Amino acid sequence: MVRAETATQNTMKVRKMASKHIIIIGAGAAGIRMGIQLREMGITSFQIVEKDDSVGGTWRDNTYPGVACDVPAQYYCYPFAPNTTVKNTFATGSQLWDYFQDIATRFEIDGHIRFGVEVTDAEWVAGRWKLTTTDGEILHADIVIGAVGRLRVPHYPVIEGLDDFGGPVVHSARWDKNLSLEGKRVGVIGNGSSAVQIISATVDSVGHLDVYQRTAQWVYPWKNKEIDPEELERARTSDSEAIRAYDRARDTFRALFEGIAAGADAEKRNAACVDALNSVKDPVLRAKLTPDYPVGCKRLVVSGTFYDAIQRPNVSVVTERIARVEREGIRMADGALRPLDIIVLATGFHADSYLRPMRVTGEDGMTLDDIWSDVFLNYNSIALPFMPNFFMVNGPFSPGGSISIIEIIETHVNYVARLIDRVVRDHVEIAPKIERSEKFVHDARERAKKTIWYTGGCSSWYLDANGVPLVNPLTSTQLEELMRDVVFSDFNVRPAQVEVAT
């Protein structure tokens, strides 16, 4: 096993840490990674509270047919714990769920987790955080880390009559494992990454598939190939080979997608998408599937199977506007009724939820809603003004879309670890200065306005209510650069109000 690199190797420096209690909210990829980091720092006085009954976050929640990660498996893993078990380019959702469960056990995180504990409120009271759970339990912590994930809260479309439908209605992120699509007339609303995976995985077994497409999507045709078994074996038996495999997969991914936001290196990427689209033989269908915005404006869908699936005779791409849902099916704006047995809502997530619906109240009674009423004020996506000793992983203006989320988590966790080190070592309270937070947000927004996400003229989950990206168009190298050094002068640092327990 490759050892985790940590920001704080010197355990002498952190001798007071046992006296600080830390609560991490969420046992997904970010929460587990934060726990590993704390243990590496010699901190064991932490607890991870998880609302559900197992670890794994998004890979526990998303169990729809065909669910897979479209970042190569050899790269979508912690760099110190390479995934050497997945045999194909892309891991399935359940393989990733297994991976994170295994990590939690191997790195002795399991014992720190309390399952079935959902935090509704976090309040800063006299120098400590007071957390309230859905059960009314009160928890106290000196430091809190929100590791709640990003695409977490499902977006349910507002469509008249949806509740009146005679059959099952299921959201892609809340799949019913007992639901069989075999031989059924299935309507999939949406055609993003989740829908495309569902369509490819179910086209052979459903009776008929209606794909209700509001906006055509670009699809990058990356085939899910088997990894050379000899290469896999080498990675399994040698740490250095495993790291090499990780590096190769990372470099391939970066070369393909890292330039998307800036519109860089677009020629090959665009040509691959256009070629894939041109594999659609029927000109009418091809026209329906042709986007009217540039490649990369929306999060690029990755699929080596979609165009084959969508051309099957039992699939209809429906572009007419949905008027309402009725007991028998979906009524279109042109008056036609499309009879259905099952409706699948592959309609995405509220990508701007972040910590919410949890309520957070910091100094001077300032709430999360107060500081996020205009823009999502925060510092480096990991800290919030007015919220001392409260940190986030993957907060607003984190990069995304064309970087592996695991790599972002790695960088954020290392940064947060250095703040925690300071809090514990010097027994202080620490929160970012308002003006430095404003500068971070201003810079991120201005940078984002130069990207294809903004200039491309499409709508997507990248954008806030004003149409400005909430996603930071940083490459992984730029993110590392931004977060290499903790600039403590950007923070208000003052002695802790609470005595150090000895």
Binding site for ligand NA7 (CB under 6 A): 151, 157, 172, 189-195, 212, 214-215, 299, 346-348, 459, 461
Among 246, 188, 251, CA closest to 217: 188
Q: Which two tokens stand for residue 266?
A: 């677009």
Contact 493, 432 (CB under 8 A): no
- 361 vs 402, beta carbon nearer ligand NA7: 402
- 96 vs 195, beta carbon nearer ligand NA7: 195
Q: Which two tokens stand for residue 92?
A: 């399935």
Among 307, 271, 305, 275, CA closest to 289: 307
Among 449, 401, 400, 448, CA closest to 295: 401
Considering the complex, what minimum distance in angstroms separates the CB of residue 191 from ligand NA7?
Answer: 4
Contact 211, 315 (CB under 8 A): yes
Per DSSP (E only), the strands in 134-177 are: 138-141, 143-146, 169-171
DSSP 368-385: HHHHTSSS---BTTTB-T
Q: Which two tokens stand for residue 467?
A: 């149409």
- 145 vs 322, beta carbon nearer ligand NA7: 322
Contact 322, 332 (CB under 8 A): yes
Considering the complex, what minimum distance in angstroms separates the CB of residue 458 from ligand NA7?
Answer: 8
Considering the complex, what minimum distance in angstroms separates the CB of residue 253 from ligand NA7?
Answer: 13
Check residue 364 and report its DSSP letter.
Answer: G
- 199 vs 392, beta carbon nearer ligand NA7: 199
Considering the complex, what minimum distance in angstroms separates the CB of residue 382 from ligand NA7?
Answer: 21
Considering the complex, what minimum distance in angstroms separates the CB of residue 109 from ligand NA7?
Answer: 25
Contact 55, 101 (CB under 8 A): yes
Considering the complex, what minimum distance in angstroms separates the CB of residue 96 from ligand NA7?
Answer: 12
User: CA–CA separation, 225 vs 25, rounded Å?
Assistant: 36
Considering the complex, what minimum distance in angstroms separates the CB of residue 125 from ligand NA7?
Answer: 37
DSSP 163-219: GG-SS-EEEGGG--TT---TT-EEEEE--SHHHHHHHHHHTTTSSEEEEE-SS---E
Report the Cα–Cα distance between both ends of the chain, in Å, rounded.
35
Q: Which two tokens stand for residue 172?
A: 């892609």
Considering the complex, what minimum distance in angstroms separates the CB of residue 223 from ligand NA7?
Answer: 18
- 246 vs 453, beta carbon nearer ligand NA7: 453
- 293 vs 491, beta carbon nearer ligand NA7: 293
- 232 vs 300, beta carbon nearer ligand NA7: 300
- 83 vs 402, beta carbon nearer ligand NA7: 402
Residue type, 163: D
DSSP 74-128: TTSS-TTS---S--BSS-BHHHHHHHHHHHHHHTT-GGGEEET--EEEEEEETTE
Computed from CA positions of residues 87, 90, 96, 102, in that sequence, does the dihedral angle turn out positive or negative?
Answer: positive
- 151 vs 431, beta carbon nearer ligand NA7: 151
Considering the complex, what minimum distance in angstroms separates the CB of residue 218 from ligand NA7?
Answer: 11
Check residue 270 and report its DSSP letter.
Answer: H
- 66 vs 388, beta carbon nearer ligand NA7: 66
User: CA–CA separation, 402 vs 468, rounded Å?
Assistant: 17
Q: Which two tokens stand for residue 5?
A: 């690199």
Considering the complex, what minimum distance in angstroms separates the CB of residue 231 from ligand NA7?
Answer: 27
- 347 vs 378, beta carbon nearer ligand NA7: 347
Q: Which residue is nearest to ligand NA7 (CB)?
A: 192
Considering the complex, what minimum distance in angstroms separates the CB of residue 88 from ligand NA7?
Answer: 18
- 24 vs 198, beta carbon nearer ligand NA7: 198
User: CA–CA separation, 233 vs 421, rounded Å?
Assistant: 39
| Alpha carbons within 13 A on the beta-carbon side of 446 | 6
Helix (H, G, I), strand (E, B) or coil at 252: helix
Nearest 5°: CA angle at 289, between 401 and 169? 75
Considering the complex, what minimum distance in angstroms separates the CB of residue 301 from ligand NA7?
Answer: 8
- 338 vs 436, beta carbon nearer ligand NA7: 338
Among 405, 478, 473, CA closest to 76: 405
Considering the complex, what minimum distance in angstroms separates the CB of residue 250 from ligand NA7?
Answer: 17
